[in-house]
Amino acid sequence: MAAVAAKANELKRLNADLLAISIDTVFVHKVWQEIELSKLIPGGFPFPMASDPAGKIGTLYGVYDEKAGINLRGTYLIDPEGIVKIVQIYDAPIGRNFDEMIRMIEAAQHVKATQGSEACPANWKPGKSTLKPMPALAGKVHEIWNPSELDN
């Protein structure tokens, strides 16, 4: 939670909203915010936190582990029209990469801005080469994109 809170300014710059959901009650969220998060991040966690004590939301999103009684860590990128663009689900002990979350938002926004006329290849970042999906691209990706861009 602290790691994503540290990205609050970047999320704001991207006009992205974030909602955290856990099986914990709102009272646990409040204590966690006051005792832990506010010490890790000045001002605490700047996003809303929803409570899902029965795992109903987690079940709908495919992250509720009934045996363990927890929601696994999931990241869902949902566009302004409500369409799920990206889903990442992590086992409970595996942390997320919020730099990658920012990159995914930037890529999704780029694709939307180009009305799908450009695709963002692996590890794409703003300013890097994109691909123009079309039949003529088949067998010619190597002419316009090189995996060496992944290192830059």
129 and 94, same structural domain? no
100 and 30, same structural domain? yes
95 and 126, same structural domain? no
Residue 135 has pLDDT above 90, yes or no: no
Q: What share of residues in the chain are helix, strand, coil (percent, to 5)?
A: 40, 15, 45
What pLDDT shows up at residue 88? 94
Chain-centre distance for alpha carbon 118: 21
148 and 93, same structural domain? no
123 and 87, same structural domain? no
Residue 117 has pLDDT above 90, yes or no: yes
82 and 13, same structural domain? yes
Q: Check: CB of residue 127 under 8 Å from CB of residue 106.
A: no
Interval 99-127 mean pLDDT: 94
Domain limits for position 133 = 117-152
Q: Check: CB of residue 20 under 8 Å from CB of residue 1.
A: yes
Residue 11 has pLDDT above 90, yes or no: yes
C-alpha to C-alpha distance for 10 and 143, rounded to whole angstroms? 33
Query: pTM of this prediction?
Result: 0.86
The per-residue pLDDT for range 59-91, each reduced to its tens digit, is: 999 999 999 999 999 999 999 999 999 999 999
143 and 88, same structural domain? no
74 and 54, same structural domain? yes
15 and 55, same structural domain? yes
